Chain A
Amino acid sequence: DTGVSQNPRHKITKRGQNVTFRCDPISEHNRLYWYRQTLGQGPEFLTYFQNEAQLEKSRLLSDRFSAERPKGSFSTLEIQRTEQGDSAMYLCASTLLGADTQYFGPGTRLTVL
Chain B
Amino acid sequence: EDQVTQSPEALRLQEGESSSLNCSYTVSGLRGLFWYRQDPGKGPEFLFTLYSAGEEKEKERLKATLTKKESFLHITAPKPEDSATYLCAVLFSFTTSGSRLTFGEGTQLTVNP
**Residues on A close to B: CB < 8 A?**
4, 6, 31, 33, 35, 40-45, 48, 55-56, 58, 91, 95, 100-107, 109
Contact = CB atoms under 8 A, between A and B. Distances in A.
A109 B31 CA distance: 30
Given A44-B103, A56-B100, A107 B46 contact: no
Contacts of A56: 97-100
Interface of B: 4, 31-32, 34, 36, 41-46, 49, 87, 89, 91, 97-106
Given A42-B106, A48-B99, A100-B49, A107 B43 contact: yes
13 contacts: A4-B43, A6-B43, A31-B99, A43-B87, A48-B98, A55-B98, A56-B97, A56-B99, A100-B34, A102-B34, A102-B46, A102-B101, A109-B41
B84 to A, nearest CB: 14
Contacts of A44: 103
A33 B104 CA distance: 17
A68 B36 CA distance: 27
A91 B45 CA distance: 12
Contact of B104 (A42, A48, A58, A91): A42
A42 B32 CA distance: 17
A43 B41 CA distance: 13
Nearest to B45: A104
B44 A40 contact: no
A110 B42 CA distance: 13
Contacts of A105: 43
Query: Lowest 5 A-B CB distances belong to which pairs?
Result: A42-B103, A104-B43, A45-B100, A56-B98, A104-B44
B31 A100 contact: yes
B46 A43 contact: no
A102 B44 CA distance: 10
